[in-house]
A and B are shown apart, each in its own frame.
Chain A
Amino acid sequence: QSVLTQPPSASGTPGQRVTISCSGSSFNIGNNDVYWYQDLPGMAPKLLIYRSDQRPSGVPDRFSGSKSGTSASLAISGLRSEDEADYYCAAWDDSLSGVVFGGGTKLTVL
């Protein structure tokens, strides 16, 4: 059971907009920034969003992040086949004194 809760799966067709949620508590998301990672098979995970809503250089602006209270979301607009991957949220947890991840969401592009 992960400390951060994500839906196990999400899907969309090319060009659509999809949103992946990440739910936590006051100890993690409620008091700290959220980070989003893309995990492709056989590759190292890649940072998509940092400090809840900031996009690193090189990440397409189709990816965006937001946070409200103890929940966060990753939105992907203009869905493309290469976006098919696993997505993870992460945050520091003040109670556990460690980093916690969501269980991951497998995105399928239909």
Chain B
Amino acid sequence: QVQLVESGGGVVQPGRSLRLSCAASGFTFRNYVMHWVRQAPGKGLEWVALTSYNGNDRYYADSVRGRFTISRDNSKNTLYLQMDSLRVEDTAVYFCARCGTYGSGRYSDLGWFDPWGQGTLVTVPS
């Protein structure tokens, strides 16, 4: 079955770095756009970044652009999120999610997240 498993979360001091990983299985990883979405404690969902199927195109939320880098290794079926210059407000559960379809070429489909991983918690203490 399709599965996404995040890892790499933890407690990190402000200004430091952390890299998250998302191991994918059960589908042809190299075909799909992949996303990171986060949820701060008690708050709503916030999209973070996406990468195209081959990693050539990447988009970021304004809140993380210039500090976070999304990447993928299709040979390892793994998605990454390199988080630098971490801030207290980056504290959240980080989910990786697969785009619900592939090959459509429609930007409209980029809001389609299915499935999601279980998430990994990143804590940046004040």
Binding site for B on A (CB under 8 A): 2, 31-35, 37, 39, 44-47, 50-51, 56, 86, 88, 90-92, 94, 96-104
Contact = CB atoms under 8 A, between A and B. Distances in A.
A94 B110 CA distance: 11
Contacts, number: 77
Given A50-B100, A56-B114, A33 B45 contact: no
Size bracket, chain B contacts:
20 to 34
Contacts of A94: 107
Interface centre among A39, A91, A101 (most CB of B within 10 A): A101
Contacts of B46: 101
Interface in B77-126: 95, 100, 107-119
A92 to B, nearest CB: 5
Interface centre among A90, A92, A94 (most CB of B within 10 A): A92
Interface of B: 35, 37, 39, 44-47, 50, 59-62, 95, 100, 107-119
B47 A90 contact: yes
Contacts of B59: 97-98
21 contacts: A32-B108, A33-B108, A33-B109, A35-B111, A35-B113, A39-B39, A39-B45, A44-B116, A47-B112, A47-B114, A50-B100, A50-B114, A90-B111, A92-B108, A92-B110, A92-B111, A98-B59, A98-B60, A100-B47, A101-B47, A102-B44
